[in-house]
Chain A
Amino acid sequence: MSKIEEVKVLVETGKSKKVAAAVQEALDAGDKAQDILDAMIASMGVVGDKFSSGEIFVPEMLIAAKAMSKGVEVLKPVMAGDVSNSLGTCIIGTVAGDLHDIGKNLVTMMIESAGFDMVDLGVDVPAERFVEAVKENDNVVLVACSGLLTTTMPALKEAVQTVKAALPDMKVLVGGAPVTQAYADEIGADGYATDAGSAAVKAKELIA
């Protein structure tokens, strides 16, 4: 098995304690950093698909994302300054009044693993804060809003409509337990995802 294949397997199986060494060995063997990164992104794509199809569950997805981040840490100094590999910046947050972060954190990991730079605004994010964050950061291509509670669905609607009013061309992705495709359509979101794996797929679709 080539070094780069080994990295892919380690990411896919979530071996976070072994990935850094494997990435370094791949670099030492002459593999290009970009190729290693692409291999890890491909692995996370497989992980996302397996999660969406029910083949694996949240723990396996989380440890895969953790493994990838360990590998990226090794690549970062090598790729410093090279922004050509980024798909752009995604602003993400849980909407105002909602303090739940697990769904948002899972989506953050998966979208980041797909090749985006993430700016996580945390929880209880006022609608205007999403707009400010787009203006404060470079190369923002996507805003992702999460809402877990039925009581915060109005805040999700406000967030989407505030972003769209201020930035009509900005793509907005929504998700959360009570959210449906019909509701996403109703509030004017560009995309909806049922889970973190499909959120990463949808994020790439929206900016294509």
Chain B
Amino acid sequence: MALTPKENYLNAINHKETEWTPVHLADCGVLGFGALPGPWIEKGPLGGGYDGFGIRWITPASGGGAPIPAPNEHIMDADTIVDWKSIVKFPDLEAVDWQEMVNAELSMMPVDRTVQAIEFGCGNGVFERLAALMGFEEALMALAEEPEACNELMTAITDYKIEFAKKVKQYYNPDLFTNYDDIATERGLFMSPTVYRELIKPHHKRLNDAVRELGMIPVQHTCGYCEPLIEDIIETGAAVWTSVQPTNDIVGMQKKYGDKIILMGGFDTNGAPGAPDATLETRIAEIHRCFDEYGQQPGFIFFGHVLVNSLDPAEMGAQMMPIIQEAVRYSHQLATK
């Protein structure tokens, strides 16, 4: 293999020739929100607590310690969103010790910039931030009942996120900047395509444009069935959609759009391979399926993930490492054939 994992990974994203199908988490290290919560101002501190907006986050073991807003502690609803300017207090990004946060993350999750690409996970896209402030139901109702107020608030959130991205570039200097904004469930979009296009897509595009301007590659994260919006995601300037789950027609999308966007994911996290009692054989078979089905088409990076009911990094590692190791082994095996 002549390419480093980083070169190979970035080649894939730039639609250039690769030597093997890249494996996320092996060929690309993760900073920010991902394995850890990232900057406390977005998802709260490690182990839970308040973010920079005054929202409390909890880290239940059932979600592997991933932060979620504390239920029923919201500061706004679908009626009061019209007063958001007096309710929502944005964090002062200049008052944050960014270098300390970077150092703390790197001490827990070291990355090797010489051989790995680096992704920064930016938690809370415009929709998720709206939901963090007011809860999912109220946020969704607000989109229908108070679209102008939602748009104003999401414009302000995007302004803030662009300033956040500048800090990320300065202190983390990643290759990829991932905007985490879940807009779909396992079986469908949260909101209609029309509402997405009118109220959310313009903010995604503006953030992605700024991210690219800063010299980072914009990545869009959403779980769930989001296939109806694939052309929109491409139009926002996202180079990658992660984490694509097989509830979508991944092969069909690759054939049609594989030269325009990278689909990262593939692993059936919500199916039998993601079940807590899944055997290693089941998971290995799923890894092979991903490479055999998606690795043969353009525009694919493997990303396998399973939820582990634990707050212990060692337990999570014990579940995740075999997936990463087998993915790397199998991808290289296929490449040498």
Contacts and interface: CB of A to CB of B under 8 A. Distances in A.
A152 B274 CA distance: 12
A152 B191 contact: no
Nearest to B190: A58
Given A58-B191, A151-B307, A63 B144 contact: yes
Contacts of A188: none
A97 interface: yes
- Main SS of the interface on chain B? loop
Given A60-B144, A97-B61, A194-B187, A150 B274 contact: yes
Nearest to B140: A59
Interface string B269-296: 1110011110000000000000000000
Contacts of A122: 71
Contacts of A106: 137
A150 B276 contact: yes
Given A60-B144, A99-B60, A99-B68, A150 B137 contact: no
B47 interface: no
Contact of A62 (B71, B141, B195, B309): B141
A177 B186 contact: yes
Given A59-B143, A178-B274, A151 B309 contact: yes
B80 interface: no
Contacts of B275: 150, 153, 178
Contact of B270 (A56, A66, A152, A177): A177
A137 B309 CA distance: 33
A158 interface: no
Interface residues of A, number: 33
A150 B275 CA distance: 5
B63 interface: yes
A60 B63 CA distance: 29
Interface in A125-156: 149-154
Nearest to A57: B192
Contacts of A149: 62-63, 307
B41 interface: no
Contacts of B136: 102
Nearest to B273: A150
Contact of A57 (B58, B64, B188, B306): B188
Q: Which of A58, A122, A177 has the most chain B CB atoms closer than 10 A to its own CB?
A: A58
Interface in A147-174: 149-154
Contacts of B82: none
Given A99-B68, A151-B308, A58 B140 contact: yes
A12 interface: no
B306 A59 contact: no
Interface in B221-270: 269-270
A181 to B, nearest CB: 13
Contacts of B190: 57-59
Nearest to B224: A177
Contacts of A101: 71
B143 A150 contact: no
Interface string A95-116: 0011111110110000000000
Given A59-B141, A98-B62, A154-B276, 14 more contacts: A14-B145, A57-B190, A57-B191, A59-B144, A98-B60, A99-B62, A99-B63, A102-B137, A150-B270, A150-B274, A151-B308, A177-B270, A178-B186, A195-B188
13 contacts: A57-B188, A57-B192, A59-B143, A60-B192, A62-B141, A63-B145, A97-B309, A98-B60, A99-B63, A149-B63, A150-B307, A177-B185, A178-B274
The 10 lowest CB-CB distance pairs between A and B, nearest first, are A151-B309, A59-B144, A97-B62, A177-B186, A102-B136, A59-B140, A178-B270, A57-B192, A150-B274, A151-B62
